[in-house]
A and B are shown apart, each in its own frame.
Chain A
Amino acid sequence: MPFSPTPPAVDYRAVAHSPGFKTLVARRRAFVTAALGLAVAWFGSFLLLTCYAHGFMQTVIAPGLTVAYVLGLSQFVLVWCLTGAYLRSSQRVFDPMQVAVEDSVAATTAGEHA
């Protein structure tokens, strides 16, 4: 059980200002901003078209297939792709950076207690 009754105090302000942590936060924030920006724009346009552009959305591309259904389906595809991309980046980029921050914190607190 990895639980210690009195965990050593962490200087959160110092960690927050360390270069490793700042890069982690900045990179994650850049990814999330871009991904959510794209998703909000795509879903927002779809929702507005659904509400206000009935004629366009009812356009029949092939018998049985409307623009509305294609754009609706594209929402699912976009969510799947962005979710996959986030999980991949987390594993390959953010997790290793996070481990590095944790290691440097562990090294500092261990140093104080030695």
Chain B
Amino acid sequence: MNVTRLIFFAAILAVTVGITLWASRRTSTTSEFFAAGRSVTGRQNGLAIAGDLMSAATFLGFTGLIYLAGFDGWVLATAAIFSFLLILMLFAERMRNAGQYTIADVLSFRLSRKPVRAAAATTTLVVVVFYLIAQLVGAGLLIRALTGMSFAPAVILTGVAMLGYVVFGGMLATTWVQIVKAVMLLTVGAAMTIAILWQFHFNVLDLFDSAAARHPLGEKYLGPGGSNPNPLNTLSAGVAYAIGTAALPHILIRFFTVPDAQAARRSVGWAVGLIGVFFVMTSVIGYGARALLPSGSEEATAGGNLTAPLLAQHLGGGEGTFGGDVFIALVSAVAFATILAVVAGLLLSASGAISHDLWFNVFRPEADAAEREGTTVARISALAVGVVAILLTIWLGDSLNVALLVGLALSIAASANFPALVLSMGWRRFNTPGAIVGILGGLVASVVLIILGPQVWPGGEDAAPFPLTFPVLVSIPFGFLCCWLGTVLSPRRVEDESTYYELLVRSQTGIGAEEPTAH
């Protein structure tokens, strides 16, 4: 056990527990639990969204991929930043104007409520549980590598903290944990970037050149093709990040926490600026690790995931020095905070899908206002999903690939959520059967193709009936096709089209949107 690191980890936990205690006194109604009373400002929400994207998969995963394979690791970062244009111009303001707590609100707005809601809630749960397991596995691996604690207790520790934030502090705690972490991660990233550039007299090209000189690929290390022999796999990974990111439930629900559409829009502006700077910094950190870490460090980075902490140790003075110890402890603790903050947001969106969508709108629509206003069902749902995710993670074990699971969650979100969300806002003829067939078609197609693909099918790449790891090139068009077929093959219903006008006016102008509560 490393004492410096334990102190830093404990400090992070103490800060987040403090935030949760503060938030729990301000969280008693449903609107406060799921949407922080719609009191979050645009800038705060932008930081929180940036925090959601600056997850363990991007901070540890992207820097590791760049260190190992070069430019290919950075392509996913460009795809993720692109997806924010979709979020800004298609979803941000409309989510705030048309929805209440979940993306199923927007999908079921103009369509027959129960079946569409049930379908949308199902895909949310599938996406979130995939993503949650990915982050929990990452937490277990990270804590094990950095403190010597074994996998299962590390997952349980992370899971219990996550449950604490969400069950007691709701969206307010989830948002502020995310904001504090985003500021810490940006600061640490900037410190590492400056420390790396310092050694190259702030000449970035000199840094890249030195990195290429130390990689077996030479100059090709600075171009694409370093990791994946099949170009279709790179293409499908890029598309999964570019479209899937825009359809992630835990990111879209953040637009319900701001007072109005203007704030929703501004929060994307902040997020795009911060995430862009952060992703550019990951390229410096990843290439910096190649240029500065001693040759043969690949083994020690454990598949690339520990590249950033090891580089921090090196920059601080190396193993065994005081500076090295403190810097690796700091970076590791911030990585831990990243996972805690991201899993809390995921759990909250799953809790919304169960209590708001399934319980109150599908199974118990007769519940009275007092029952709906309470947060008991929401808190119990969060607890249930959290416990299931923790047990699944421990059962599936530490051999799962974190980046892969995230990519699969993105594929499902892109195939099941994205087509229906786009069409419900833009196509007047779109109707209930179209939405149900589209959502379920996209969900089933992506899950089946993942199972038939090289990562899950026994025998791997040679035996798999479907050649691609990420199914999006087939499953997104299939999702759109299902939406279209379901719509045109079913009879026209006047109600679906008249509510189209209500959704159109409300989403474009905010007339009739959920009001912010007074604080």
* Chain A residues packing against B (C-beta within 8 Å): 1-3, 7, 10, 12-13, 15-16, 21, 24-25, 28, 32, 35-36, 39, 43, 46-48, 50-52, 54, 57-60, 62-69, 72-73, 75-76, 79-80, 82-84, 86-87, 90, 95, 98, 101-102, 105
Tell me the smallest distance from the CB of A74 to a CB of chain B, in Å.
Answer: 9
Does any Cβ of A come within 8 Å of B510's Cβ? Answer: yes
Report the count of interface residues on B (CB-CB < 8 A).
Answer: 60
Q: Which residues of B contact A58 (CB under 8 A)?
A: 219-220, 222-225
Most buried by A among B74, B225, B504: B225
Does any Cβ of A come within 8 Å of B466's Cβ? Answer: no
| Cα(A8)–Cα(B79), bound, Å | 44
Q: B82 to A21, Cβ gap below 8 A? A: no
Q: Which residues of A contact B72 (CB under 8 A)?
A: 50
Does any Cβ of A come within 8 Å of B505's Cβ? Answer: yes
Q: Which residues of B contact A95 (CB under 8 A)?
A: 262
Chain B residue, CB-CB nearest to A75: B78
Q: A86 to B88, Cβ gap below 8 A? A: yes
Q: A101 to B515, Cβ gap below 8 A? A: no
Given known pairs A39-B82, A75-B82, the reply for A21 and B505 (CB within 8 Å) is: yes
Q: Which residues of B contact A35 (CB under 8 A)?
A: 85, 89
Q: A54 to B276, Cβ gap below 8 A? A: no
Chain B residue, CB-CB nearest to A48: B235
| Cα(A66)–Cα(B283), bound, Å | 13
Q: B238 to A47, Cβ gap below 8 A? A: yes
Query: Interface stretch among B180-188, B200-208, B393-401?
Result: B200-208
Q: Which DSSP category, helix, strand, loop or mixed, fits chain A's interface?
A: helix
Q: Which DSSP category, helix, strand, loop or mixed, fits chain B's interface?
A: helix
Q: Which residues of A contact B242 (CB under 8 A)?
A: 43, 47
Q: Which residues of B contact A75 (CB under 8 A)?
A: 78, 81-82
Q: B212 to A64, Cβ gap below 8 A? A: yes
Given known pairs A10-B511, A83-B268, A83-B272, the reply for A50 and B234 (CB within 8 Å) is: yes
| Cα(A50)–Cα(B227), bound, Å | 12
Chain A residue, CB-CB nearest to B271: A83
Q: B71 to A43, Cβ gap below 8 A? A: no
Q: B85 to A79, Cβ gap below 8 A? A: yes
Does any Cβ of A come within 8 Å of B86's Cβ? Answer: yes
Given known pairs A15-B505, A51-B224, A54-B224, the reply for A72 and B71 (CB within 8 Å) is: yes
| Cα(A80)–Cα(B266), bound, Å | 13
Q: A28 to B280, Cβ gap below 8 A? A: no
| Cα(A90)–Cα(B218), bound, Å | 47
Q: A43 to B509, Cβ gap below 8 A? A: no
Q: B231 to A51, Cβ gap below 8 A? A: yes
Q: B504 to A25, Cβ gap below 8 A? A: yes
Given known pairs A58-B224, A68-B222, A83-B272, the reply for A98 and B509 (CB within 8 Å) is: yes
Q: A101 to B89, Cβ gap below 8 A? A: no
Q: B509 to A2, Cβ gap below 8 A? A: no
CB within 8 A of A7: which of B90, B268, B512? B512
